[in-house]
Copies of this chain bind each other. A is one copy, B any other.
Amino acid sequence: MRPDWINDPIPCPSLTHQTRAMDRQNQLTKPPGSLGRLEEMAIRICALQGRDAPSLDQVRIVVFAGDHGVARAGVSAYPQAVTLEMVRNFSRGGAAINVLARQLGAHLEVVDVGVAADPGPLPGVISRRAGFGTADFRAAPAMSEAALAVACAAGAEAVRRARESGCELFIGGEMGIGNTTAATALACALLDEPPQRLAGPGTGLDPAGVARKVAALEEALTRHASALTDPWEMLRHLGGFEIAALTGSMLAAAQQGMPLLVDGFIVSVAALTAVRLRPETGSWLLFAHESAEPGHRAVLAALQAEPLLRLGMRLGEASGAALAVPLLRCACALHREMATFVEAGVSGGVNKARKKGI
């Protein structure tokens, strides 16, 4: 029952541009490899953009917001009302991601994919509601087939809008009280790990709250065990509207050949879902940061991902991804603008010369 578009073809990044970029990196006036991960990033962005002069001037950040029935199990440090309150805060420009988007000169969009109470029209907020929050997955599947399709499509549409606006890098973020629990449930199912191993404090649960979270996860995973037959059904039974939208955005970004920068734990679980649905998606993903949430490491390992930053962040809203953008922009600028050894009249390395018998 997956929507047909999910199986649309996914292109390969450009090997030609990758090879040329590797060659150029070795000609720039620096010891080969001395820019470390910035070299790797510049080369990957050349391959993803199919360009010799990579650029990330046009960055689009989309925060998907949704509520979670399981929030009533007391699995968050904050009441469910905070999801709506934060959507209003986004709309007024006062949240962390607003500040970061302004710093980056990035376009920020918020998509309501199913906050518990409909916020009505708000500036900068697009309504693509798949429901009034998900069902409590301890008792029922988190969402229906139809709602899942709506949420996934909301993510794909956001990528289409980004593409049409000339976006060079897509960033998805999330807001939803209880969504660390949903993401952890999904990660447990995808990785076949027990809740005890992956559950953490989220936005700041105390130990009693983490114990409630583990109990809720165990209940849900037991109840739905026989239905968790593939990543799509795992997403439907255990996910959230914003997690589904993020998954949809990644599939669509890969299909459209748009590089996508992955934020923290929750977005990484959506990435793992997308990669399990369509493994070719992985080629189009860059990883920004490792969050403080303990389960993130296991998810990153399954994705063979090595994020750029580790700053102990655990906010969500795409904030960790936003912080990696300046690093990627610097990597692109260095690749484009540094002089080569020949251009600058700088002598090459002695090791290299020796190897050549000079």
Q: Which residues of A contact B (CB under 8 A)?
A: 28-38, 74, 76-79, 81-82, 85-86, 88-89, 92, 94-96, 98-100, 102-103, 203-206, 209, 292, 308-315, 319, 322-323, 326-327, 329-330, 333-334, 337-339, 343-352
Residues in chain B near residue A309, CB distance under 8 A: 309
B204 touching A347 by the CB < 8 A rule?
A: no
CA distance A31 to B79 in the complex (A): 12
Checking B30, B292, B326, B349 against A326 with a beta-carbon cut-off of 8 angstroms, the contacting residue is: B326
Q: Decide if B95 touches A204 in the complex (CB within 8 Å).
A: no
- Asked whether, in the complex, the Cβ of B313 is within 8 Å of the Cβ of A310, the reply is no
Number of this chain's copies in the complex: 2
Cβ of B36 and Cβ of A76 under 8 Å apart? no
- Name 11 interchain pairs, CB-CB below 8 A, sorted by A: A28-B96, A31-B315, A34-B203, A35-B315, A38-B313, A74-B350, A78-B347, A86-B346, A95-B338, A98-B337, A209-B350
A219–B322 CA distance with the chains assembled, in angstroms = 49
Do the beta carbons of B334 and A96 come within 8 Å of each other? yes
Known contacts A82-B347, A350-B77: does B30 contact A96 (CB below 8 Å)? yes
Query: Quick check: A311 and B311 within 8 Å, CB to CB?
Result: no
Q: Who on chain B is nearest to A309 by CB?
A: B309
